[in-house]
């Protein structure tokens, strides 16, 4: 039977935070009010790292700029963001980890709290076809139309990652229990709820809280980015 491999993104497969980096990119390119947005971006990032992020307040702030520009312009900026910021961070160790699961025929999915506008092209760069992220709402619900600045559905954050994973698997006619083996790779204390649900939780480049939790539970610890 096909096995399941789930991957967090930020500081797990890449040694940076894509959402935080996108915020800085917007500031640097005058897409947002530099002073206020930069301040909010740093504050929310600090809250995330210690596990007290208000995900809905955060998404209201980071998605609002998407509603100010047409999709064509946003897509052009994102291609620049990929070329200048993200692609240089892709590491052979992370690419090899994903390739190992893909080559075994495992069902692979990237699941991240970062919104899908930012992260879907990054998943594609890893060759991961399935991606779950917090979803920006679009005009009339048309996936190709402009963004409204709101979020739609349940954000894929903390317990929301469990809900979104189960809903995605249900859409495929499957559940976690249908797989002989399930993996989830994550760096963050915020992902402990989903890590507890899989047969092979892997604390990957873990923060201090997750590292201590993994050690206490006997989970595998994988340091992909030892040199960073």
For residues 11 and 191, give the distance between their C-alpha atoms in angstroms, rounded to a whole number. 12
Residue 47 is classified by DSSP as H
Task: Determine whether 10 is an active site residue.
Answer: yes
CB 34 within 8 A of CB 212: no
Q: Indicate which residue of 8, 106, 187, 207 is catalytic.
A: 8
CA distances (Å), 100 to each of 93, 127, 219, 223, in order? 11, 12, 20, 16
Classify residue 219 by its DSSP letter. -
Are 10 and 157 within 8 A, CB to CB? no
Please tell me the distance from the alpha carbon of residue 188 to that of residue 48, in angstroms, as a whole number: 9
| Integer Cα distance of 22 and 39 in angstroms | 14
Confirm whether 19 is a catalytic residue: no
Pick the closest to residue 77 from 17, 35, 25 (CA basis): 25
Select which of 10, 17, 106, 207 is catalytic.
Answer: 10
Positions marked catalytic? 8, 10
């Amino acid at each position: 039977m096909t096995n399941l491999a789930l991957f967090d993104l930020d500081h797990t497969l890449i040694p940076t935070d894509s959402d935080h980096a996108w915020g800085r990119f917007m500031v640097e390119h005058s897409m947002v009010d530099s002073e206020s947005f930069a301040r909010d971006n740093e504050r929310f990032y600090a809250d995330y790292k210690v596990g007290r992020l208000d995900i809905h307040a955060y998404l209201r702030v980071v998605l609002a700029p998407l509603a100010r520009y047409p999709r064509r312009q946003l897509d052009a900026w994102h291609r620049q963001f990929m070329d200048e910021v993200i692609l240089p961070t892709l590491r052979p160790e992370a690419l090899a980890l994903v390739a190992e699961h893909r080559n075994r025929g495992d069902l692979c999915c990237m699941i991240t709290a970062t919104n899908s506008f930012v992260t879907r092209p990054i998943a594609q760069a890893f060759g991961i076809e399935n991606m779950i992220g917090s979803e920006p709402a679009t005009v009339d619900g048309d996936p190709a139309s402009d963004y409204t600045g709101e979020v739609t559905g349940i954000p894929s954050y903390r317990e929301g990652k469990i809900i979104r994973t189960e809903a995605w698997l249900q859409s495929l006619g499957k559940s976690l229990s249908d797989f002989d083996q399930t993996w989830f790779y994550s760096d963050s204390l915020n992902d402990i709820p989903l890590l507890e649900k899989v047969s092979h939780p892997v604390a990957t480049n873990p923060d201090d809280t997750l590292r201590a939790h993994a050690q206490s539970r006997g989970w595998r610890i994988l340091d992909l980015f030892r040199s960073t």
